[in-house]
Structure 1
């Protein structure tokens, strides 16, 4: 049996959640070498989205970056609706799909799914996969894994609560700024969704994109223009072509935005928010007007020196802005937008991001239609959705 005291000590180390999960996984495998995989998936509406996975077997990693639709009446839906665990003694009994095929190919034959409950709501599910059939049926073994699951669940809930606190503070700042921003709330939601989709699609080309990256960019992309709050009305609401002086004023919104985030962090008790989380957000805000050829602002960064998250948001923002009616312009046709994006590839935009967007236009347009502007709800904000 596991040493629960030792597990508790591991969980109390001053490390980020993913590192602690890795340490717990390695410790548990000393007692149960047949355990090959732990995966934590979060619930996003009617979909599951992988947050973090530890896996000893080589597998199709692209599946980690795909969302899984929760089918009504499925055992997953029952785990969520009834807050109950699920044991699979033989994975061959599961309905066949790509994820089940991946588990089979990796040699996994049994599974334990454990719901993470926060305020009477299942927010995620922890999956344990083993190469020994019927492993989780044994009561003593089941007790061990329930204890491990509870530790991971507690750690994940701490992350969830810290993130929720941070998101609420950011959203307050965003709402204050949005009262003066001529953009619609749905535009901000679409930017998050486009950016998330592009990040998922780019995982085939960019190994640095993790499941954490995908969750972050979806949540933080809508904050890209938060600095517009400090731009004077005569510039922010102008429908005329900017003079050079007005353009210089507007360009400062990236710097102002970074300062706003720094103030939020300084004023609030956010000592437990990982520094890389704040850096990721600041990168989007400060650098989403950089150009791939180095002619952008505020720092004139080029190519891979522009943070990837900013390169993605730059394309998502312009793509949606061109398709959308603004006080100073009518919406462009999709053909016009495609022509512009192609022409600016390698100049304003990362060519690889452009390639992925153009290869998946149907998905992008579905996002646009799903989160279309609703004039009656113009000021309703929903970012991390």
Structure 2
């Protein structure tokens, strides 16, 4: 895994669990400050979950705990959680000062909180101009903790966390919007469909979630893999039409030009960060690595730098597997879709050569999740651009 953003966990004997850098590190610092106040000393957990308006799903994002994390890598539809849905709709915070067991047919969240000794909770939404960004959760091991007085003492910190989260997500979304605008302008000359980008980013998220325990990855890291994966091929906007749109096989010298889309992509990302004043963009190195490393091969035969093994960033290795799997299992003007089993056999045959074996197995470990992604993000008629699209066909043979 690349070292630019490697998880910086505290030692095993430190009670502060889950410090991964970025917003999570800021949240942990605030948590320490909050607990230094006698009236707030038993706030044992602060967490933020983000809401994905495109899918209607709620995902754990960052948190700071005394003890274990109750909901690592949790993702579910908001509509399945009536309490949270009510907070989202009304804006009225929710307080439960006597967390009990879940009723029959409940979602199991109360049971998990109780199992870790948490007895009180306070939930507020993060909301701006009609947009739900997510929720902030405060938990205490003391029953009856969230009184009018403790909520008032907590309010300045709650507002600061709200501002930090919105600022972080806004800068992320500004970057995504800028890059996607460039992709949209050039859509007619780019073979990637919107559905392809949706699927491959969810495959990347699935791989990252599966590898999280092995690599000590935070939910924050997984979230940014999901958000930044679709930007991997931004550099194709700089490839000349006579090469990108060529219908026949590329000549060797043309293929060399095609490969420059990786370096061009990094240049475009750096320029957009500078032009939009996003030098503080969260996980900026992760974004650059997604663009820079998605054509590197595990055995060192890829491009542009011929990196091998863990010299390739983890996010680059993840996106390489996610991108090729979706390309193989999708119908394109130049080919029929492969079955999931056939594509899985190809990935396994190339594991250790083109692909990181751990990333391959992480994706293929959950066939049902793959089918769910394919069902949710199906191609729509007429979804292809006007490009010749032969480059993707050649990718399976590259490396």
What's the TM-score once normalised by structure 1's chain length? 0.87
Q: Which of 99, 104, 108 does residue 118 from structure 2 map onto?
A: 108
**Counterpart contact for 1:201–1:356, Cα < 8 Å:** yes
- State the Cα distance separating 1:368 from its structure 2 match: 1.6
Rounded to whole Å, the distance in 2 between the matches of 1:266 and 1:121 is 27
Q: From 262, 270, 273, give the equivalent of 1:262.
A: 270
Alpha carbons 2:203, 2:363 under 8 Å: kept: no
State yes or no: 1:338 paired with 2:344. Answer: yes
Most deviating of 19-28 and 221-230: 19-28
Q: CA RMSD in A?
A: 2.0
In structure 2, list runs of 5 or more residues that go unmatched.
1-20, 386-399
- 1:38 and 1:75 mapped to 2: Cα distance? 18
Partners of 2:207 and 2:22 lie apart in 1 by 26
More helix as a share of residues: 1
Q: Equivalents in 1 of 2:23, 2:69: separation in Å?
A: 23
- Tell me whether 1:36 sits opposite 2:52 in the alignment: no
Secondary structure of 1:128's aligned partner: strand
Q: Deviations over 1:210-259 (max 9, x none)?
A: 11111111111111111111222232223433332222121111111111
Matched, 1:153 2:162: yes
Deviation at 1:16, TM superposition (A): 5.1
Q: 2:221 aligns with which of 213, 230, 244?
A: 213
Which residue number in structure 1 is paired with residue 213 of structure 2? Answer: 204
Tell me, in whole angstroms, the C-alpha distance in 2 between the residues paired with 1:287 and 1:343. 21
Equivalent residue for 1:285, pick from 275, 281, 291: 291
1:247 aligns with 2:255: yes
Q: Which has the higher contact order (CA 8 A, sep 6+)?
A: 2
Equivalent residue number for residue 47 of structure 1: 57
The whole-number CA distance in structure 2 between the counterparts of 1:362 and 1:376 is 27
* Stretch deviating more after TM superposition (317-326 or 69-78): 69-78
Deviations 1:180-202 (A, max 9, x none): 10222211121111111211122
Q: Which segments of structure 1 move beyond 6 Å, counting only runs of 4 or more?
A: none
Q: 1:266 to 1:122 in 2, by over 3 A?
A: closer
1:327 and 2:333 equivalent? yes
Q: Does the 8 Å contact 1:66/1:200 carry over to 2? A: no
Gaps of 5+ in 1: 1-14, 380-385
Q: Contact between 1:186 and 1:378, CA under 8 Å: does it hold in 2?
A: no
SS at match of 2:378: coil
Name the residue aligned to 1:357: 363
1:164 aligns with 2:173: yes
Q: Tell me which residue corresponds to 2:389.
A: none
How much does 1:20 deviate? 2.7
Q: Return the offset for 1:263.
A: 1.7
